[in-house]
Amino acid sequence: MQNPFEYSDTNKRYHTLEYENRRRYGGRVVKVPLDAGFTCPNIDGCRGRGGCTYCSSRGSGEHAGLPGTPLMEQFRAGIEASRSKWPEARYIPYFQAHTNTYAPVEVLREKFEPFIGLPGTVGLSIATRADCLPPEVLDYLEEIARRTDLTVELGLQSAFDSTGERINRCHSYAEFTAAVTELKKRGIRVCVHLIDGLPGEDRAMMLETVRRVAKLPVDAVKLHLLYIIKGTVMGQEYLEGKVRELSMEEYVGIVCDQLELLPPEVVIERITGDGEEATLLAPLWSLKKRRVMNAIDKEMARRNSWQGKGRETK
């Protein structure tokens, strides 16, 4: 069957990051996750204690370099790890672990400056929380965005504050929308992280979150499957039977519905979970990432659907 989706030159019926990078940079771009040793206001007691219930001691930076290792060393190791697969690639340093704007601007400068315009890179990605963007930090991010392709990644997970409370997110949907407005006002690219399968949420809520995000001026979305990690609060809740895992069929159906709701221009930077075998409690099917992605492609083709197709009708 011919693929009618305009933001694709493969069988993908959604706007992949790989496609976007080929379009923008003319080739493969690899994001190298880094751990800059930040903490999080949701861990140190400023907004909350203990962190989001699914968050590991790595601060959602499971794939980042080892904490304590000099950042440039982490970056070089990340490049080496991908070089045999993609020798021609260029790179985006990705400040991933914990909250990467939770420090005074001088500290942020120390961490970010060596990576801005570094040969072989095409931009910079910074993951943070909506409540960690005071005016002086926004000014600095705006300055970075004038010098390189900056993406700020905001963890929303759900548009529902009731879910936010349930997972101890400790900031509100209103704070998130205010942060998106501020970042966009300053011309900064925004990527939003969402999680499907959070406790207390049904399919209708997961679709409603995407419906709301679709109305905001966001540039990219990461659709994560909730994966439950050993040693976390949620891991304990799972073992006590208080958290249910999604089946692969449920997840595929929900993601395809969500893709249909998102504007076709929005880049889908991730479409499933990325847990590690050694620490993953559930769902174990998520380890077979290729299988999940193939099932999504197959379902979109079966529906003869594509990203944005259902925006008017759903």
Write out the residues near ligand SF4 by the rule CB under 6 A: 40, 42-43, 51-52, 55, 59-60, 98-99, 129, 155
Shortest Cβ 256–ligand SF4 spacing (Å): 26
**At closest approach, how far in Å is the CB of 185 from ligand SF4?**
23
Closest CA to 230 of 56, 9, 48: 56
Q: Distance between CA 228 and CA 166 in Å, rounded?
A: 15
* Nearest CB to ligand SF4, comparing residues 180 and 295: 180
Nearer to ligand SF4, 198 or 300 (CB): 198
Q: Which is nearer to ligand SF4, 57 or 181 (CB)?
A: 57
Helices and strands (DSSP H and E) totals, the chain? 10, 9
Q: Which is nearer to ligand SF4, 51 or 310 (CB)?
A: 51
Q: Give min distance, CB of 129 to ligand SF4, in A.
A: 5
Nearer to ligand SF4, 51 or 308 (CB): 51
Pick 44 or 265: Cβ nearer ligand SF4 = 44
CA distance 312 to 26: 33
Closest to ligand SF4 by CB, 58 or 90:
58
CB of 94 to ligand SF4, least distance (A): 14
Output the CA torsion 73→78→79→80 (10° steps).
Answer: 90
Minimal distance, residue 15 CB to ligand SF4, in Å = 25
Handedness of CA 100, 129, 143, 20 (dihedral sign): positive
| C-alpha span between 205 and 195 (Å, rounded) | 11
CB of 42 to ligand SF4, least distance (A): 4
Angle between helix 105-112 and 135-147 (nearest 10): 20
Q: Hunting for tokens 């926004």 — which residue is that? A: 138
Residue 123 vs residues 93, 152, 163: alpha-carbon distances, Å: 7, 11, 33
Least separation, in Å, of the C-beta of 128 and ligand SF4?
9
Residue labelled with tokens 């800059």 = 36
